[in-house]
Every structure is written in C-alpha cells, then in structure tokens.
Amino acid sequence: MKLRVSLFFIAVLFFSCGRNYNEEDITPEAMRKKDSLSVREEKMNDGLERTNKVMLKKEEDKIRTYADRRGWKVEQREGVFIQVMEKGGSVSVKDGDEVVLEYECELLNGVKVYDSRQDGLLRIRVGEDSEVPLGLQLAVRYLNLNSLARVIVPYNLAYGLSGDGDRIPKSATLVYTLKVKEIR
C-alpha cells in the first residue's frame, strides 16, 4: 500500500513539473491573475523596503540621541557615526591596507563586550575582512595613523539581526573607541 501511494505522488510530481503551457495559459483572464500576483508581490516588496527604511531611521534617531546625551559630536558617514577625538598623522587608511587597532567595544547599555587589553589588538584588512563588521571597516577608512576615534556602528552594519554568536546579542548597535596603531 505504501509503495502505491509513493508511486502515485511521484507520478503526480513528475507530470506537474513537466507541464506544457497551452494557449489557455495566456488568455486575458490568466494574464490578469498573473499580473495580480506580480502587483501583490511588488506591493509586498515595497512594504518591506518601507519597513526597513523606518527601522533604520529609528536606529539612526536612537544613535543620535545616545551621542547627544553624552555630548559627543558625531558625523554620519556611510551609515556609521564617527567622532575623531585625535586626528593623528598624515598617513590615512585605504581599502586593502592592513590596519592594527587598539580598541574597546561596548553595547549602548554600557556593557563592554571586547577590549584589546584582554582580547589582543585587532588586525583587519580594510574592505576585505569578512570577520569584522562592515561598519567598522567603513569607519576606519576615515582615520589616519595614530587617530583616536569613537565609532558607533548600527546593528545593520555590525552583526545584524543574529549577533556574533558569542558576546554580541541580536540587533546590537556597537560603540567602539579605537586608536589606529599601524597601517601596512
């Protein structure tokens, strides 16, 4: 009995996958149904895009409020918020450079999650290192050798909706204090 049922489902799957389309598939009614599905899909995608924009705007407002309450003068660049506290030298960071950073990383609630004094200096290849948040790589490109900066990375440019699986929780915005120690 089980064999017959299995064969039946296999036959149905085989014939439905190999279906040929006939002229009745392009009738005005069929096309309206197809267009209706396309319109609904388009509306759904537009809705998701608007939702994402609203969420990112709320995150941006939250970060600005956080910085303002602390008296920080941050500039937004490529979605990341940067305050350069010490400009450093004339050698600037470029894509492809290997950069060594002394850093502290904390959550918006003040919980310190990473610190180079305990975890070691951070070495990244700017623009190429998939282990480091994109937002941190974007921010480092605006710094020079020996720069000291505060960088706020929104969750969408940090570890996203999933966190890092270790110390960074889901949807966490990160606050870095970092110094560029070496550029190679």
Which DSSP helix (H) or strand (E) runs through 80? strand 80-86
pLDDT tens string 84-142 = 999 999 999 999 999 999 999 999 999 999 999 999 999 999 988 888 999 999 999 99
Give yes or no for residue 159 having a pLDDT over 90. Answer: yes
CA separation, residue 68 to residues 30, 72, 79, 105, 176 (Å): 57, 6, 17, 19, 16
- State yes or no: pLDDT of 24 exceeds 60: no
CATH of 73-183, one of 2.130.10.30, 3.10.50.40, 3.90.1660.10, 3.40.50.620: 3.10.50.40
Reduced to 3 states (helix: H, G, I; strand: E, B; else coil), residue 84 is strand
- Residue 27: predicted pLDDT: 64
Q: What share of the chain is helix, strand, coil (3-state, %, to 5)?
A: 40, 25, 35
Q: In terms of C-beta density within 10 A (0-12 exposed, 13-18 middle, 19 or more buried), how is residue 125 classed? A: middle
Instruction: Record the pTM.
Output: 0.75
Place of tokens 């941006």: 60
Positive or negative torsion for Cα 171, 64, 105, 107: negative
- Beta-carbon contacts of 182 under 8 Å, excluding residues fewer than 6 positions away, are 98, 99, 100, 145
- Beta strand 174-183 with 98-107 is antiparallel
Predicted confidence (pLDDT) at residue 40 exceeds the cutoff of 80: no
In the chain, which residue ranges form alpha helices assigned H by DSSP?
Answer: 2-17, 28-69, 116-119, 134-140
Domain ranges, ordered by start, for the chain: 73-183
With a CB cutoff of 8 Å and minimum separation 6, the contacts of 139 are 77, 80, 82, 149, 151, 153, 176
